[in-house]
Structure 1
């Protein structure tokens, strides 16, 4: 058992002073089962629905599952949560390969930045590349048997937690895990404030930590004491500003890595130049937000 889990109240739930309150172990399935159903539904939808929204919903569902498994990591067998989070990341990456092309196309097609002509010229090959990525995404998700994998993971974790001898009140556990996530975010924000303007990795770490904390507050908000509206508002600001930065950074890398694929499709140099300028602009905007928070 991991060190943090030793802090759990070892008395039977019936003898706990907060009698009537559910334990974290007993509550796990009520959090995880709907997310598993949602992820399976979106994975099935991707077979028929080629829209960017279908892939985005699948990625979000898998990210939420990763955050939930991270939250319950102290209560699970050592290594089990890490393995499951790696699986969810693998599946999300499979869906993300297509979504990355969607974001690049959306960015270049946006109004007001002079790249509209570029994307018009590149459109046929961009769509071909997106189609190839979609075929790969579908094949990967199909071969992975998402439904079986997610159901099996849910069943194994639920069984382990429901048969555990130790019990910790859900409210206490939720407060502990949210506090850990909050400290992680603060640490990464401090590091990003001191980072050089070119250090995107530091900004990316803030985005990931902020997203995890937001998901945890969405899961555990109803059982936590005290209002969290101000925190959620800050997290939404971070997610929006840093997500916009991530979109342009990922698009710049994607275009650069696929120049050979887009040969003759148009002025890729002009597209890269615009993305570079936009990356710098969004980096400044992200840094400005950090100073205010």
Structure 2
């Protein structure tokens, strides 16, 4: 059975749960944790409560609840049972960046299955649930030992819960060791402040999935997948300040969606899509620099540049291995020098991926995400002297910047055959930024014209990207064959032969790109500039 899904809007008051999850990077004993907690929240720690929570999560065979990010669970605490339905709220700077906000419906439960009639939900939601009810079945369970402190943070009361236990599904088990910060009263800003303080003093990172999401993936034995960006819709009269917040949250959402694939390893596409999202984010912040506070801009760009550099080597080596080395190995399968070089590339590539995995577990990465979340939530990122500009309609703001970036692309593209390597690199950056700007603001303009422009721009970026990959690949071959000579895995003669072989391969690729660029540029230049319609 497949359910059509609810309209989760409500015309009456319902409880709202707002929380942040922090996952431990290493086991921590009670004494060490309490010491760190004192540093984070102050010397006086409130008395704690301890509970043993055993929960069963339900869904249909076609995963209708999970598909809509809804959760239905039956929880036992001692002899008492409660049932809870969670429906996500839409928020610009919410779950994408770390805050998880839900409508939460809870009621006592008497039996071994949820009794949906006891949930005080709207008629639309209950109709959807009753449609799903015949197909509901247990999917996974969690067994959690929870320690709870009620912490005062400025004007806010926050429940800090340390959860240790496991998720069990289909004979598979995944450990749980995380902190859950739930805002009981007060401001989201205080919640984010406490989270940042805990990150400073504990070996934790921002959680990338709820227990429900982790349990669903475990039950269906799903490996993390790479997540591409999706179309962003901006309402027609959106002011640029609101468009900025939406674009930033969308970019971070794509980054965070690829974190699990990066941590799992063996997923080059997740690394690539993370870098794409990171470049999109930096481009959005750069495009809106005139309305962003100077100190905020400098801080965000410095931390995001660091993260981008941490992932650069992994992506470059993925391209070298997949686009150059693999085809050569297929053509020369018996070549021992290529095989020895391939082994060195594989080892270097794994080191680069470990560096990338390490970067997303660094405090610096988590803290910049929390800082962005807090500033977006509190509208504390703007330049005061640019308030009038920030209030402009996003479309009006975008037109001038799209035209300015297009002119830079056109001026360099028309001199393509005479450009130096540095100028071609600069052109690639302009094309990339124009594409990210176009994708961010596309929904504000006529769809058909915009789509053709995007397609031409994508082709142009592909050609320039392939050209850049060839140049970067040549440098990596030069450097790595030097390492191989030093380690004794290649002789100097073999290294020189490989350099010549790869140089020939890359020269052919560069020549192809030269020819393809002229065609791609003519096709793109013929497209109407959608912001002039």
TM-score interval for Structure 1 and Structure 2 normalised by the shorter chain: 0.7 to 0.9
Give the whole-Å Cα distance in 2 for the aligned partners of 1:191 and 1:147.
43
Query: Cα–Cα, structure 1 residues 204 and 68, in superposed 2: closer, same or farther, change >3 Å?
Result: same
TM-score (norm 2): 0.47
Residues in 2 aligned to 1:111 and 1:280: alpha-carbon distance in whole angstroms: 14
Instruction: Using the TM superposition, name which of 78-87 and 25-34 deviates more.
Output: 78-87
User: Contact conserved, 1:108 with 1:115, CA < 8 A, in 2?
Assistant: no
Q: For 1:142, what is the secondary structure of its paired residue?
A: coil
Matched, 1:134 2:353: yes
Question: Tell me, which stretches of 5 or more residues in structure 1 are unaligned?
Answer: 1-19
- Which structure has the highest helix share of the two? 1
Contact conserved, 1:126 with 1:262, CA < 8 A, in 2? no
Kindly indicate whether residue 454 of structure 2 is the aligned counterpart of residue 232 of structure 1.
yes
Q: How does 1:170-249 map to 2 (within 5 A)?
A: 170-195=394-419, 199-224=420-445, 227-249=449-471
Structure 1 41/209 Cα, relative in aligned 2: closer, same or farther at 3 Å? same
Distance 1:256 1:67, change over 3 A: same
Of 97, 114, 133, the match for 2:313: 97
Give the conservation status (yes or no) of the 8 Å contact 1:40–1:147: no
- Between Structure 1 and Structure 2, the one with more strand by share is 2
Q: Which runs of 4+ in 1 moved over 4 A?
A: 111-116
1:51 match: 267
Q: Which runs of no fewer than 5 residues in structure 2 stay unpaired?
A: 1-235, 523-533
Match of 1:268 in 2: 495
Aligned equivalent of 1:78? 294
Larger radius of gyration: 2
Q: Distance in 2 between the 1:37 and 1:151 partners?
A: 13
Structure-1 separation of matches of 2:403 and 2:446: 12
Q: Deviations over 1:209-244 (max 9, x none)?
A: 111111111110110357233322221222221211
Number of residue equivalences: 272
Secondary structure of the residue aligned to 1:159 is coil
State the TM-score, normalizing by the size of structure 1: 0.81
CA 1:249–1:162: 2 relative to 1, 3 Å: closer
> In the alignment, which residue of structure 2 is the partner of 1:88?
304
Q: Which residue of the partner structure matches residue 5 of structure 1?
A: none
Residue 99 of structure 1: SS of its match in structure 2? Answer: helix
Alignment root-mean-square deviation, CA: 2.7
